[in-house]
Amino acid sequence: MTASDILYIASTVAATQATVDLLANKFVFSTENFTHRVSTLDRMRVKRDKALASPPPAQGTAKSMEKYNKKIKRAEEDYAMAASNVAQKFTAPKIWNSIVFVFLYRILSLEYGGKVIAILPFEPWGIIRRFSMRGLSFADDFDWSSAGEGARPVQSVNQACGFLFIYLLCNMSVKFVVHKFVGKKSPSGTEKGFLTFMDDPRGQKILQQFGVDTDEINEMRKQF
């Protein structure tokens, strides 16, 4: 149990995230296909905003109002379709990122499984203890001097911290910071990720083919 173990885990997470982000930037986000989709999204956003900003026909007939409503609906559908096209490309690297970190967890857990990585300065709550002590087991006469160099006296065995807890903390801190500086920010309009597909008319049709009431889903999403 040394600080070098924690530093090694944190640096491995950081290096892995930086590598994934750099590869995504080169092979996905820098391609002509992706930049074309983003430029199309920007054009459709301007078109939609102009349609929404245009006033309805004053004292217009039912036909003119219908034409006006169709114009707005078409602009919104074109924008949703363009956003979905960008989100599809932007979501793929995230999926690969998740797969890579699952493999990374399996590799590191083989090395650190069952090993005391750190000793917390407090005794965590029960729900947190399930993660902090995952994979650890001690006998009643466990000798803390065998936990590693630098181990300090503790009041409770529950202060022991295993690999999983450190790995989760690194994913929520180190991984996040590295992605913020190295990764690409999601283009405006695609922040919902895969859910953007549900706003696309094509996605609505697919859901309807599976018997899903898209109107009900849209109403539920508006409430949240």
> What percent of the chain clears pLDDT 70, i.e. is strictly above it?
74
H-assigned helices in the chain: 3-24, 32-53, 62-112, 126-132, 163-172, 174-182, 201-209, 214-223
User: Mean pLDDT of all residues in the chain?
Assistant: 79
Supply the pLDDT for residue 21.
95
Query: Which of 201 and 136 is assigned the larger pLDDT?
Result: 136
Supply the pLDDT for residue 140.
47
CB 32 within 8 A of CB 12: no
pTM: 0.73
Predicted confidence (pLDDT) at residue 186 exceeds the cutoff of 60: yes
Span 5-28, pLDDT tens digits: 889 999 999 999 999 999 999 999
Span 39-92, pLDDT tens digits: 999 999 999 889 888 888 776 677 788 888 888 888 888 888 888 888 888 888
Supply the pLDDT for residue 141.
45
How many CB atoms are located within 10 Å of the residue 217 CB? 13
Supply the pLDDT for residue 26.
93
Average pLDDT of the residues in 124-140: 71
Supply the pLDDT for residue 215.
57
Give the three-class secondary structure for 210: coil
Residue 196: pLDDT band (50, 70, 90) is low
Q: Which tokens is 212 given?
A: 């899903």
Q: Which tokens is 182 given?
A: 């190295």
Of 208, 130, 123, nearest to 162 (Cα)?
Answer: 130
